[in-house]
């Protein structure tokens, strides 16, 4: 068995970036196989071995001993000073004190430095993050995966990274470099009798048949982002009916791939690439892909569906000026739609920014568009659309979401001063306390980057606003927040139970309801 490599973790389980954060490589237990689901353009199919739940008993015992050794390490998960992850030798695996919901981030391994300032360094491909995650889950069996999420972080000018920082800036004319990671949203594993969760992933792009290359070799293929979302999903469903994913779908997400390009350039994307550079003075193409995470096991014959709920619009006659309704109203409308649905299982709720266009002096929202471009010399306006992904289930007369009263809450990092905000892990401490008090079961979650008005007084985020204007001719700041969705209404906990904040932030929760 390979020697376990430990990394310093923050108090809520996300990996702390070191001086070379790209070299983070979480390893716990033996290395599971990477599940690459691949369908090549010439029709040839390749598969790698898929790890099943029926593992060798002796190997499981070895992994268990190694897991316990890892958990006792002072530098793991915040060490013994962290009560949330406290370890007691006299307690069983399931009796350890763990939060009702938490997270852990996985970053790709650094491979090669960039050759010029305009190029991005090379990192390991996205499929390796799934391998890391499965190793970690084998070594930390008190957790199980609730949701998986693709997250994007911005590199600093020296190409270093601190994934716990919540505010980042984008240059209007300089070089912006980004790295893609994998975030697992974790909940306590209900029983030791339930198999340890092992995940797989598949990614589709419009106009491409390739899902994930089995050889993990870098290659970018042309995409057709003029394709409509419904046609895109229908094509995927035809593919998975012929060759089902080897497991049960956990969640689906729209991943926005970004490419720096000239106005007349075609767009090619490598869905496995985890680091890229954008030149501020060039146009940027945004292409929507679909990423599906699943729990490895028996193949499930199912279909993927989605429903988009657009915000209400108020347009004045003969003008392109549009006023949008608040996002909380969009959530309520989605809840009304859910109540009448049957034969579906909701797998994700996700807010998506859709670029607005004016045709004949009429502003329109086209959420079925698979992509768009931003011109550095023009403003771009977006509307926030709420998308529900679901999979079909056995036909019945039941309405599984009839009693759901869909609600949402945005958790915003506390502003300490000017451009200084509390860390994401500190915000998650508030989230955990909030869940412990309300006892609410989460229905959905997403990490959201909001355009931040740094010069404004008080909150820099308009969390209930359904539209935003991006001015590419100026530098801009974005604040990382986390939004949860719930199956019922809720009452806010008293401020005094919130974790401590600085004297400058007496608002306690440091976040608003939307």
* Residue 499: pLDDT over 80: no
| Range 221-238 average pLDDT | 89
| Model pLDDT, residue 209 | 55
| Range 403-425 average pLDDT | 94
* Residue 145: pLDDT over 60: yes
| Range 287-302 average pLDDT | 96
For 347-356, the pLDDT digits (tens) are: 999 999 999 9
For 177-224, the pLDDT digits (tens) are: 999 999 999 999 999 999 999 999 999 999 865 454 334 455 677 777
Interior angle at CA 308, CA 285 and CA 209, nearest 5:
50
* Residue 66: pLDDT over 50: no
- pTM above 0.85? no
* Confidence grade of residue 265 (pLDDT, cut at 50, 70, 90): low
Instruction: Determine the Cα–Cα distance for residues 345 and 252; give it in Å rounded to an integer.
Output: 12
The DSSP result for 300-340, as a single string, is ----EEEEEEPPPEEE-TT---EEEPPHHHHHHHHHHHHHT
Question: Mean pLDDT of all residues in the chain?
Answer: 79
Instruction: Determine the Cα–Cα distance for residues 3 and 121; give it in Å rounded to an integer.
Output: 28
* Residue 69: pLDDT over 70: no
* Residue 86: pLDDT over 70: no
Hey, which bits of 375-466 come out as E strands?
Answer: 379-392, 407-411, 415-417, 420-421, 444-452
Instruction: Determine the Cα–Cα distance for residues 414 and 507; give it in Å rounded to an integer.
Output: 9
Instruction: Determine the Cα–Cα distance for residues 494 and 297; give it in Å rounded to an integer.
Output: 43
Facing residues of 285 across strands? 259, 373
| Residue 2, CB-side half-sphere exposure with 13 Å CA sphere | 11
Residue ranges in 382-510 assigned as alpha helix (H): 424-438
Q: Is the model more confident about 282 or about 508?
A: 282
The H-or-E segment that residue 185 falls in is strand 175-188
**Eight-state DSSP code of residue 507:** T
* Nearest in space to 421 (alpha carbons), one of 412, 432, 430: 412
9 burial type by CB count under 10 A (0-12 exposed, 13-18 middle, 19+ buried): buried
CB 410 within 8 A of CB 453: no
C-alpha dihedral, 459 to 465 to 467 to 469, nearest 10° = -20
Interior angle at CA 25, CA 22 and CA 28, nearest 5:
165
CB 400 within 8 A of CB 344: yes
Instruction: Determine the Cα–Cα distance for residues 252 and 330; give it in Å rounded to an integer.
Output: 20
Q: How far is residue 20 CA from its own chain's centroid? A: 23
| Model pLDDT, residue 55 | 34
Instruction: Determine the Cα–Cα distance for residues 68 and 66; give it in Å rounded to an integer.
Output: 5
Handedness of CA 135, 432, 15, 6 (dihedral sign): negative
* Residue 73: pLDDT over 60: no
Provide CB contacts within 8 A for 460, sequence distance 6+.
Answer: 415, 452, 453, 454, 477, 479
* Confidence grade of residue 410 (pLDDT, cut at 50, 70, 90): very high
Helix axes 127-139, 57-72, angle to 10 degrees: 90
Instruction: Determine the Cα–Cα distance for residues 342 and 344; give it in Å rounded to an integer.
Output: 5
Instruction: Determine the Cα–Cα distance for residues 249 and 252; give it in Å rounded to an integer.
Output: 8
Provide CB contacts within 8 A for 148, sequence distance 6+.
Answer: 133, 182, 183, 184, 185, 199, 201, 250, 251, 293
Cα-flanking dihedrals φ and ψ of residue 328, to 5°?
Answer: -60, -30
512 burial type by CB count under 10 A (0-12 exposed, 13-18 middle, 19+ buried): middle
* Nearest in space to 446 (alpha carbons), one of 29, 133, 8, 148: 148
Range with the lowest mean pLDDT among 72-86, 240-254, 471-485?
Answer: 72-86
* Residue 336: pLDDT over 90: yes
For 295-335, the pLDDT digits (tens) are: 999 999 999 999 999 999 987 665 666 889 999 999 999 99
| Range 135-149 average pLDDT | 97
| Range 401-429 average pLDDT | 95
Cα-flanking dihedrals φ and ψ of residue 15, to 5°?
Answer: -75, 125
| Model pLDDT, residue 32 | 29
* Residue 460: pLDDT over 60: yes
């Amino acid at each position: 068995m390979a020697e376990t490599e430990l990394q310093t973790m923050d108090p809520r389980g996300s990996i702390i970036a070191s001086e070379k954060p790209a070299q983070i490589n979480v390893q716990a237990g033996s290395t599971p196989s990477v599940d690459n689901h691949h369908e090549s353009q010439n029709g040839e199919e390749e598969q790698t071995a898929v790890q099943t739940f029926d593992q060798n008993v002796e190997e499981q015992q070895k992994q268990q001993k190694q897991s316990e050794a890892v958990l006792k390490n002072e530098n793991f998960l915040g060490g013994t000073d962290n009560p949330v992850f406290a370890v007691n030798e006299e307690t069983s695996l399931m009796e350890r004190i763990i939060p009702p919901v938490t997270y852990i981030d996985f970053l790709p391994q650094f491979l090669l430095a960039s050759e010029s300032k305009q190029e991005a360094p090379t990192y390991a491909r996205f499929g390796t993050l799934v391998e890391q995650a499965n190793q970690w889950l084998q070594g930390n069996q008190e957790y199980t995966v609730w949701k998986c999420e693709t997250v994007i972080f911005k590199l600093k000018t020296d190409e270093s990274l601190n994934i716990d920082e919540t505010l980042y800036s984008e240059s209007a004319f300089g070089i912006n470099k980004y790295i893609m990671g994998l975030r697992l949203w974790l909940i306590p594993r209900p029983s030791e009798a339930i198999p340890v969760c092992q995940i797989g992933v598949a990614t589709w792009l419009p106009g491409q048949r390739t899902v994930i290359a089995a050889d993990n070799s870098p290659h970018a293929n042309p995409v057709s982002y003029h394709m409509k979302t419904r046609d895109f999903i229908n094509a995927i469903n035809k593919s998975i009916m012929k060759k089902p994913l080897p497991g049960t779908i956990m969640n689906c997400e729209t991943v926005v791939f970004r490419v720096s390009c000239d106005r007349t350039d075609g767009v090619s994307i490598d869905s496995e690439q985890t680091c890229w550079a954008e030149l501020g003075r060039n146009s940027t193409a945004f292409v929507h892909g679909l990423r599906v995470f699943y729990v490895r096991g028996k193949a499930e014959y199912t279909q993927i569906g989605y429903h988009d709920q657009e915000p209400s619009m108020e347009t004045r006659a003969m003008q392109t000026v549009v006023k949008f309704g608040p996002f909380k109203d969009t959530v309520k409308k989605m809840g009304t739609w859910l109540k009448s649905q049957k034969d579906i299982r909701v797998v994700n709720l996700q807010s998506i920014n859709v670029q607005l266009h004016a045709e004949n002096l009429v502003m329109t929202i086209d959420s079925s568009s698979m992509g768009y471009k931003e011109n550095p010399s023009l403003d771009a306006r977006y509307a926030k659309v709420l998308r529900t992904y679901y999979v079909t289930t056995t036909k019945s007369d039941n309405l599984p979401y009839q009693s759901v009263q869909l609600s949402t809450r945005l958790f915003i990092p506390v502003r300490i001063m000017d451009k200084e905000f509390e860390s994401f892990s500190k915000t998650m401490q508030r989230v955990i306390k909030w869940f412990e008090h309300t006892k609410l079961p989460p229905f959905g979650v997403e990490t959201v980057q909001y355009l931040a008005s740094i010069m404004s007084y008080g909150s820099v985020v308009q969390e209930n606003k359904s539209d935003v204007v991006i001015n590419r001719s100026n530098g801009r700041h974005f604040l990382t927040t986390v939004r949860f969705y719930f199956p019922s209404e809720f009452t806010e906990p008293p401020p005094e139970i919130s974790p401590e904040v600085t004297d400058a932030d007496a608002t306690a929760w440091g976040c608003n309801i939307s």
